[in-house]
Amino acid sequence: MVSSLLLDFYELTMAQSYFVYKQDTRATFDLFVREMPENRSYLVACGLDDILNYLKNFKFSREELSFLKKQKLFSDDFLSYLGKIRFKGDLWALPEGTVFFANEPLIRVTGSIIEAQLVESYLLNTINLQTMIASKASRVVTSAAGRGVFDFSLRRTHGAGAGIKVSRASYLAGFSGTSNVLAGKLYNIPVAGTMAHSFVLSFKNELDSFLAYASVFPQKTILLVDTYNTKKGIENAVTIGIYLKEKGFRLHGIRLDSGDITVLSKFARKKLDKEGLKFVKIFATGNLDEFKITELIKKGSKVDNFGVGTNMGVSIDAPCLDVVYKMSEVSDESGKFIPTMKLSKDKVTYPGRKQVFRIKDKKGKAIKDILGLAGEKVNGRPLLKKIMQGGRVICKVGNLEEARNLARKNLSAFSAGLKEVNTPYKYPVEISPGLKKLKNSLAAALRKRQ
């Protein structure tokens, strides 16, 4: 369970000001990505599962309140109010696995301005990591064109928690499994692994190490062949493959971790096939990502499965999303919601309660999205679903397997251009007439008033 103190300090100081001046004020906030990262043509929504757990359990413990009291900034009245606070707002969201684009809210919160503001940091933090990784991982899955891809990133993710969420997000995006055992246990993701160079080094020679491993796991052995000399390593693996075959077992695979993977995989495939070991799979690892996998496949590499680590696990070419949480309306004294927007240079936001509509052609291909107002009549399927009402989850939220299916299905509705890894593709997101009108009139009024 995440502590409710995991927030930016200003959420609390603003909350106390709201407590004094605006205890009954309600507001709507949109969580969205302001601009697409350079190498991303689409994003995959991920993180809602954790957010719902967080919101359901949002409260400050006695001990946390006493820490806040020590800051000598908060009144007893406010702290006692904080002790009773629970999240009682409404939440609309894109289900996990939904493909979406810049400026489209993936979460919309309406509720007490205090509650809606206090949860900001956690919501941003969670969506930033998980959506960033699901979006990167989706590209890796596409690049592998049906071959298996495994998450081997734990050692380079940003801490233990990130490691677990990366396994989940990448599985959601279509990865076949993970090396992270704890993530496998928590989310029922298949776990996979091979062996390390240190294992080979710890034996007198490579063949001894291969034999030792194969004897313990005769049906699950993947031999790492590049500790000393890769071609020699492949030959040693062939020896083990023949040995296992004679005993009625099948060597599962070999792993290439350095050198020219195309050349070495062709060499290995040939050697293996020649000895009747067609069933032995070739795994490739070593700084792989969607760009390198695309190139390897284009060059005819004989790789069956890719192990992808650091580059996916930290989303190396875009290690953060430009994700923000912006107020779009606020209630006045009578309780009526008034649209609001930020006017500062280059960072203008869209006002009002919004919905995302996806327009498909007759064949079911997605052709454009329209960002419109929630009540507006727009032809197209609305993507934001009402998930929480008054702080209670009101619909079944898809589990990981369902989110994984949704991601696959969603993505298949887009043209091939969107999924092209090397060429950015600009999917059209239009602004509806209603939203355009609201934005222009509000901007004019605000400029005048200031």
* Touching a second copy, residues 10-39 (CB under 8 A): 10-14, 16-18, 20-22, 25, 27, 29
Choice between 326 and 353, CB closer to a second copy: 326
Restricted to residues 66-85, the positions that interact with a second copy (CB under 8 A) are 67-68, 71, 73
User: Residues 264, 230: contact at Cβ < 8 Å?
Assistant: yes
Choice between 255 and 358, CB closer to a second copy: 255
Residue 288 interacts with a second copy (CB under 8 A)?
Answer: no
Look up tokens 């990502």; give the residue.
289
- Determine the Cα–Cα distance for residues 243 and 338; give it in Å rounded to an integer: 76
User: Residues 288, 8: contact at Cβ < 8 Å?
Assistant: no
Choice between 106 and 124, CB closer to a second copy: 124
Which x/- pattern, by CB under 8 A, does the window 338-357 give for a second copy? --xxxxxxxx----------
Residue 440 interacts with a second copy (CB under 8 A)?
Answer: no
User: Residues 329, 352: contact at Cβ < 8 Å?
Assistant: yes
Which x/- pattern, by CB under 8 A, does the window 197-236 give for a second copy? xxx-xx--xx-----xx-xxx--x-----xxxxx-x----
Judged by DSSP in three states, 153 sits in coil
Restricted to residues 295-314, the positions that interact with a second copy (CB under 8 A) are 310, 313-314
CB of 241 to a second copy, least distance (A): 18
Size of the site for a second copy (CB under 8 A): 108
- Determine the Cα–Cα distance for residues 116 and 11; give it in Å rounded to an integer: 10
CB of 300 to a second copy, least distance (A): 22
CB of 31 to a second copy, least distance (A): 10
Restricted to residues 42-71, the positions that interact with a second copy (CB under 8 A) are 64, 67-68, 71
Judged by DSSP in three states, 282 sits in strand
Q: Say if strands 148-151 and 305-308 run parallel, antiparallel, or are unpaired.
A: parallel
Residue 3 interacts with a second copy (CB under 8 A)?
Answer: yes
CB of 244 to a second copy, least distance (A): 15
CB of 208 to a second copy, least distance (A): 9
Look up tokens 């040693």; give the residue.
236
User: Residues 354, 109: contact at Cβ < 8 Å?
Assistant: no
Residue 316 interacts with a second copy (CB under 8 A)?
Answer: yes
Interacting residues of 172 by C-beta distance below 8 A, sequence separation 6+: 44, 46, 96, 97, 134, 137, 400, 403, 404, 407
CB of 437 to a second copy, least distance (A): 20
Among 83, 88, 249, 259, contact with a second copy (rule: CB under 8 A) = 259
- Determine the Cα–Cα distance for residues 311 and 115; give it in Å rounded to an integer: 36
Residue 247 interacts with a second copy (CB under 8 A)?
Answer: no
Residue 336 interacts with a second copy (CB under 8 A)?
Answer: no
Pick the piece of the chain touching a second copy (CB under 8 A) from 254-262, 384-392, 405-413, 414-422.
254-262
Look up tokens 């928590």; give the residue.
186
Please name which of 42, 146, 127 lies closest in space to residue 420, comparing C-alpha atoms. 42
Please name which of 416, 425, 303 lies closest in space to residue 365, comparing C-alpha atoms. 416
Restricted to residues 99-128, the positions that interact with a second copy (CB under 8 A) are 113, 117, 120-122, 124-126, 128
Choice between 238 and 418, CB closer to a second copy: 238
User: Residues 64, 4: contact at Cβ < 8 Å?
Assistant: yes
Choice between 158 and 392, CB closer to a second copy: 158
- Determine the Cα–Cα distance for residues 361 and 414; give it in Å rounded to an integer: 11
Among 163, 174, 253, 380, contact with a second copy (rule: CB under 8 A) = 163
Look up tokens 């709201």; give the residue.
18
Choice between 126 and 143, CB closer to a second copy: 126
Three-state secondary structure of 349-414: CCCCCEEEEEEECCCCCEEEEEEEECCCCCCCEECCEEEEECCEECCCCCCHHHHHHHHHHHHHCC
CB of 377 to a second copy, least distance (A): 28
CB of 185 to a second copy, least distance (A): 5
Residue 193 interacts with a second copy (CB under 8 A)?
Answer: yes
